[in-house]
Amino acid sequence: MNNDKHLSHPDYKKIYVRLLILLAISIWGPIFALQLDNRFLLVSAVLLTAFGIGAIKAGMVAAWFMHLDIELRMIKRLLVICIFFLILLFAGVAPDVLLPEGQNREMDPDYEYPKIDNPSTPEQ
């Protein structure tokens, strides 16, 4: 379990410039996508630039600034397990949290809430 390989220190200025370039792409991508006539291509381009570039930037930050690129495999596995349980927690509470109706909820009278067919709740 000894990590004997010696890696050179990353050049943080180059990483910073790369992150700035990706930031510019994530900002200007949706602006240029507004010129597209096809709605599917427009939404795809916006989502790809927003979430795709965001995932790349998050991976760069995790790899270089958190030094996950040189950590032991156990640390990487622990990170994956934590992310799995985070997704599991969200999936467990999302049905209750994302519904507009429920106990101790105040309904907005001006908003038209979507109709949800749930036979377990009585009609009010």
Q: Which segments of the chain have a pLDDT < 50?
A: 1
Q: Residue 27 and residue 21: Cα distance in Å, rounded? A: 10
Say what the pLDDT of residue 89 is: 94
Q: Return the pLDDT at 48.
A: 87
Residue (of 47, 69, 52, 48) closest to 60 by Cα position? 69
CB–CB of 113/96 below 8 Å? Answer: no
Residue 85 has what pLDDT?
96
d(C-alpha 36, C-alpha 44), whole Å: 11
**What's this model's pTM, rounded to 2 decimal places?**
0.51
Give Cα separations from 6 to 2, 64, 85 (angstroms).
12, 15, 33
